[in-house]
């Protein structure tokens, strides 16, 4: 029995990101592409809806603190919720805050171009965990496990 393409593997946050995750910027709607013709015609922008859950998609830029390769350390995380999720942790620097995700799933994908392709993941979550719980609330982190957009342990 094979695993279908697009299967989402549930993964505990601490296993996917043992060093933690930092949200850079704010959560924004994940809108569908709008062509020049659509803009000129005054058509409204439509927010994407997840085909599996039927929930609206939101996105934010995340940086994996455990990833050693700069080009793979930052990636987008998709949040699936009816209303815009709001992180409960405070900013540690302007525009940056440690976060922990609830309902985290990882979907394998191939990233890169040409001969420089590598294993990556599409991360989706249902929202943010409460501040001070789990990995985002730990005051010290240990271990040097690589994780992030290409962590083979995440699936």
pLDDT digit string, tens, across residues 42-93 = 888 899 999 999 999 999 999 999 999 888 899 999 999 999 999 999 999 9
Residue environment code for 56-72, b if the CB has 16+ CB neighbours within 10 A, otherwise e: bbbbbbbbbbbbeeeeb
pLDDT interval class at 12 (50, 70, 90): very high
> For the chain, which residues make up each domain, given as ranges?
9-32+45-137+145-150
| Token pair listed for 60 | 């934010």
CB atoms within 10 A of CB 30: 18
Global pTM? 0.78
């Amino acid at each position: 029995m094979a695993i279908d393409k697009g299967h989402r593997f549930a993964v505990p946050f601490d296993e996917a990101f043992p060093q933690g995750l930092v949200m850079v910027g704010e959560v924004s709607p994940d809108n569908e592409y709008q062509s020049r013709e659509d803009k000129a015609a005054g058509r409204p922008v439509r927010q994407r809806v997840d085909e599996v859950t039927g929930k609206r998609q939101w996105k934010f830029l995340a940086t994996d603190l455990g990833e050693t390769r700069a080009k793979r350390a930052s990636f987008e995380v998709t949040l699936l919720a009816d209303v815009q999720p709001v992180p409960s942790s405070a900013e540690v620097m302007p525009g940056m805050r440690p976060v922990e995700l609830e309902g985290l799933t990882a979907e394998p994908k191939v990233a890169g171009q040409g001969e420089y392709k590598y294993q990556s993941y599409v991360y989706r979550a249902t929202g943010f965990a409460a501040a001070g719980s789990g990995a985002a609330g730990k005051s010290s982190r240990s271990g040097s496990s690589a994780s992030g957009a290409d962590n083979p342990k995440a699936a």
